[in-house]
Structure 1
Amino acid sequence: MTRDIPTRLLPTSTAGSLPKPSWLAQSETLWSPWKLTGEELADGKRDALRLSLADQLDAGLDIVGDGEQTRQHFVTTFIENLVGVDFKNRATVRIRDRYDAAVPRVVGDVSRGAPVFVDDARFLRAHTDQPIKWALPGPMTMVDTLFDAHYRSREKLASEFAGILNQEAKDLAAVGVDIVQFDEPAFTVFHDEANDWGIAALERAASGLSCETAVHICYGYGIEANTTWKKTLGSEWRQYEETLPTLQRSSLDILSLERHNSRVPIELLDLARGKKLMVGAIDVATNTVETPEEVADTLRSALRFVDADKLYPSTNCGMAPLASSVARGKLAALCAGAKIVRSEISDAVGTPFASLAALRTDG
């Protein structure tokens, strides 16, 4: 049974993660160890999820998420729950050609013994009537965050992960998730592989779902390794040019791209015309909180290449490494900037809302 959820023109959302409370994990840090254990940790994660939801609702977000409060990292927490991966005997690999990390090894056939995030998604669904977006790692980015000692083929491993992700995504949709988002920052680096098999693996992960699907492709969190890499990319960041034409033809419903304070030429958005676009209007690599007018300027520029009823204002990437107060300020600015442009469009066309496709599907 499907249920239409009316939503505003320019519905706002985040790319995914938000800062964790300092009592749960070290703030402003990725892969931060938990400060609680056992039942206290389980309760603490749920408390943090509620607080994250409250921050999103207070800011006025139209599409909310879990803020990734119950996971240490957007990729490895999912992988930790899979069979065939050894987290004890790690190997050092180069992550997205930017930095070295000690990562788990694939030592056997990978599989999912049980749903990973479904209980958390059900918990979130019970606490809000807003549309929910849930982020999962994409298959290519999962491959790039591991050492493969078993399949010895990035394409084969990605295909196996795609099947596992598809199982998880269907379970998430069944408990009321409206949009399943797959995070694929690897697409900004491995263009040939993305076009050869990465996007096909992504489509397999997203196939047959009763909810909408999205892929988030960015230039990374605002951590030093990523900001240093960006400085090597020159005056124009044209990586999207390599994959957007293929993604425009893909079965994914929504493409999520980085924009504000980046050097991505705005005209590249035209390569994805026809798709819904989550356009990053918040810079996650600075503690400076954008003004609503700065957000509005980013959205106005995007509207030259994206139809108004297909533009979803968002953040460039997750905000886990930022201070909580900064993240809250940025969420408020995002919503205020969208409100400005929403009002301008309404004045121009004489109607306050657009009729958008259904976001919610009940299993």
Structure 2
Amino acid sequence: MNKLLPTSSAGSLPKPVWLAEPETLWSPWKLHGDALIDGKQDALRVALHEQQVAGTDIVSDGEQTRQHFVTTFIEHLNGVDFNNRKTVKIRDRYDASVPCVVGPVSRSKPVFVADAEFLRQQTTQPIKWALPGPMTMVDTLYDEHYQSREKLAWEFAKILNQEAKELEAAGVDIIQFDEPAFNVFFDEVNDWGIACLEKAIEGLKCETAVHICYGYGIKANTDWKKTLGTQWRQYEEVFPKLQTSNIDIISLECHNSHVPIELLALIRGKKVMVGAIDVATHSIETPEEVASTLRAALKYVDADKLYPCTNCGMAPLPRSVARAKLSALSAGAEIVRKELSAT
């Protein structure tokens, strides 16, 4: 990106009411067969248009073609039985009914590549595409086969690398791996989580990002945040090793969080997607609030490495709220751009 402070969203955007139940994670599709294929493509076009109207610089599919940021990818893999389900505690926070790994995992065909090609046809803007990270995939399953989180993560890393290379070939400019699990399992992150992530990006020439947040604005996550005290220092555990990793961009949660902004000094030199939009509230940030978050980050991140972003995905929010938040992000970034060009 040549533009200073290019804006983007962390991932998901709300789906149109005709495609899926609004403000609901894992919402079932309202369409079927060919109508669902057309409906997903129409929703992708709408999501792209809404980003463009809001002034978003790096656009995405808004995850319109997937029910969930992790399980939709896993659905397309061999070795996972979605009919055989177990209840597990996801990220040590909330119980969920998840599929079981029953044999060796593999990918027999691309998962999101056709969607990425479709998005590429619709725009000349830079595209960011989100994939689940290996550790977060492991944490969203019950493993009957490998019986080792690390072994399963390495297998997923190889599969993700295959998908990422094909996404790059389809014209994706930034491939982002979503790893909210990095904010929970610190020993595993440092022992093998970052190494698995580096396996997933092996050989890529496009830019790569890791998104580490405190989760969607759902009750299980907001309740957990209330237990974290007045300072959220989880990033302190993983940033030092990420700073020396091959990942180009680190995406994190800042606005309305209790993350001490000085923790950004631990990843100095990396590009940083600074979350300047709170996805856990329906209230719309003012451009000045966004600008204030970005100014604070600029004390620790060089201006040419700062990418204003949302804290997390916005799938559970009303569409009107998400649109307004994206517009506020663009307006806040523009305030700071003008300040920087005047100095």
Matches within 5 A, 1:120-159: 120-159=115-154
- Give the Cα–Cα distance (whole angstroms) in 2 for the partners of residues 136 and 181 of structure 1: 6
* 1:297 has 2:292 as partner: yes
Normalised by the length of structure 2, the TM-score is: 1.00
- Per-residue CA shift, 1:171-193, capped at 9, x if unaligned? 00001000000000000000000
Unaligned runs of 5+ in 1: 1-5, 349-363
* Aligned pair partner of 2:247 in 227, 240, 252: 252
Q: 1:51 aligns with which of 37, 46, 49?
A: 46
Gaps (5+ residues) in structure 2? none
Query: Which SS does the other structure have where 2:60 is aligned?
Result: coil
In 2, the alpha carbon distance for the partners of 1:70 and 1:311 equals 29
What is the aligned partner in structure 2 of residue 240 from structure 1?
Answer: 235
1:287 alignment partner in structure 2: 282
Contact 1:7 1:62 in 2 (8 A): no
Asked if the contact 1:279–1:312 (Cα under 8 Å) also holds between the matched residues in 2, the reply is yes
AA aligned to 1:213 is T
Which residue, 311, 319, 326 being the options, matches 2:321? Answer: 326
Q: Partner of 1:345: helix, strand, or coil?
A: helix
The correspondence of residues 14-25 of structure 1 with structure 2, limited to 5 A, is 14-25=9-20
Aligned residues: 343
Query: Which residue among 3, 24, 34 is the counterpart of 1:8?
Result: 3
For residue 341 of structure 2, what is the aligned residue in structure 1?
Answer: 346
Q: Which amino acid aligns with 2:48?
A: L
In 2, Cα distance between the equivalents of 1:207 and 1:314? 25
Deviations 1:280-322 (A, max 9, x none): 0000000000000000000000000000000000000000000
The separation in 2 between residues aligned to 1:8 and 1:174, in whole angstroms, is: 24
Aligned match of 2:212:
217
Partner of 2:304: 309
Residue 36 of structure 1, aligned match among 22, 25, 31: 31
Would the aligned equivalents of 1:83 and 1:109 in 2 still touch at CA under 8 Å?
yes
The one-letter code sitting in structure 1 at the alignment partner of 2:281 is T
Root mean square deviation, CA, Å? 0.4
1:7 is displaced (CA, Å) by 2.8
Deviation at 1:12, TM superposition (A): 0.3
The answer for the alignment partner of 1:360 in structure 2 is: none
Greater RCO structure (CA 8 Å; 6+ sep): 1
Q: Return the alpha-carbon distance in structure 2 between the equivalents of residues 7 and 114 of structure 1.
A: 35
Task: Compute the displacement of 1:8 (Å).
Answer: 1.0
Q: Name the residue aligned to 2:55.
A: 60
Partner of 1:271: 266
The alignment-based identity, stated in percent, is: 75
Ranges of 4+ aligned residues in structure 1 off by more than 2 Å: none
TM-score by length of 1: 0.94
Residue 50 of structure 1, CA deviation: 0.1
